[in-house]
Amino acid sequence: MEFEGEFELDGVPPEKAWIVLSDPMAVRDSLKGCQYITPMGEDFNFDEYEAKEDVEMLPEADPDTVADRAFVAGQKYAALMQVGVGSVKPRFETTVTIDDRDDEEFEMLASGGGDASGSSFSMNSGMRIHELDDGDGARIEWWTEADVSGRIAQLGSRVINPVANKIVNNFFGSIEKQMSDVDEETNSGVTDRLRNML
């Protein structure tokens, strides 16, 4: 299955969009059904991991903290997702690897997959942020190619598309709101740190 789309954020510069989309915490809060996204070590255990509470979120968060936790190319992340598709509500233990991050072009590629009771999926995704032609805002282009196997594909084949669309729409709606909240000061601080990391 292939999904793709784009959306525009008026008044949000690409740099700001890049910061929010680089923050696992912002992504977690925007992704319906996502319990956590966290860097994954060798002995990571989905059963034992407890998501941190009281995480500082943008715009209040300390820029250094946000920069420290930003997605890193080559890093593997564990994400726990619980999504209802038709009559099934599997708990997906998902692994995502950031394959590439381009801080100049604002492009990020990720691949991953997950398993839940009798179901599994794999995906290759990417996004790229463009400046709007009038210079006042960002256009975010995204794409994903997913293969779904097992029970969720058997039982939910007729409703996967609407569910996926709903998750995506909610995600970008929420991201947009978070971006509007991020003030200029935070923006520049984190951007500088991120650029320095390269």
Partner 1 sequence: MSSEPDLTAEPEEHQHADDGGPQPEKHCGHGRGGMGEEVTRKEDKRFITGRGNYVDDIKKPGMLHCEIVRSPHAHARIEDIDGSRAMALDGVVAVLTADDLLEHDLATMPTLMDDTQDVLVNDKVKFQSQEVAAVIAEDRYTAKDAAEKVEVEYDVLEPVVDAEEALEDDAPLIRDELDDQEDNHIFDWETGDKEATQEVFDEAAVTVEEQMEYQRLHPAPIETCGAVADWDPGKDKMTVHMTSQAPHAHRTLFSQVSGIPEHKVRIVSPDVGGGFGNKVPIYPGYVVAAAASYVLEQPVKWIEERSENIQTTGFARDYDMTGEIAATEDGVIQGVKVDVLANHGAYNAAAQPSKFPAGFFNIFTGSYDVDAAYGSLTGAFTNTAPGGVAYRCSFRVTEAVYLIERMVKVLADELDVDPAEIRRRNFIPSDAFPYESATGWNYDSGDYEKALDKALEMADYEHYREEQQRRIAEDADKLIGIGISSFTEVVGAGPGKQCDIAGIEMFDSADLRVNPTGNAVLRIGVQTQGQGHETTFAQIVAEELGMDVDDITVEHGDTDTEPYGLGTYGSRSTPVAGAAAAVAARKVRDKAKSIAANELEAAEEDIEWDRESGEFHVAGAPDRSITITEIAAGAYMNSPGNEEPGLEAVNYYDPPEMTYPFGSYIVVVEVDRETGEVDFEKFVAVDDCGNRINPMIIEGQIHGGLAQGIGTAMLEHVTYDDNGNVTGGDFMNYLLPTANEIPNFETGHTVTPSPHHPIGAKGVGESPTVGSPPAIVNAVVDAMSHAGTSHVEMPMTPDTVWEELDEVGLSISPSENVSFEFDDGASEEPADD
List of residues contacting partner 1 (CB under 8 A): 47, 84, 86-87, 89, 115, 117-120, 122, 147-151, 153-155, 157, 159, 161-163, 165-166, 169
- Nearest distance in Å: CB 35, partner 1: 15
Structure tokens at 173: 């709606």
Given the complex with partner 1, which of 7 and 107 has the nearer CB atom?
Answer: 7
For residue 102, the one-letter residue type is D
SS3 106: coil
Cβ partners under 8 Å of residue 183, min gap 6 = 59
Q: Could you tell me how many helices (H) and strands (E) the chain has, helices first?
A: 6, 7
- Nearest distance in Å: CB 78, partner 1: 14
Given the complex with partner 1, which of 47 and 134 has the nearer CB atom?
Answer: 47
* Closest of 19, 46, 6, 28 to residue 192, by C-alpha: 19
SS3 64: helix
Given the complex with partner 1, which of 83 and 179 has the nearer CB atom?
Answer: 83
- Nearest distance in Å: CB 36, partner 1: 18
CA 129 to chain centre: 14
- Nearest distance in Å: CB 146, partner 1: 11
Given the complex with partner 1, which of 75 and 165 has the nearer CB atom?
Answer: 165
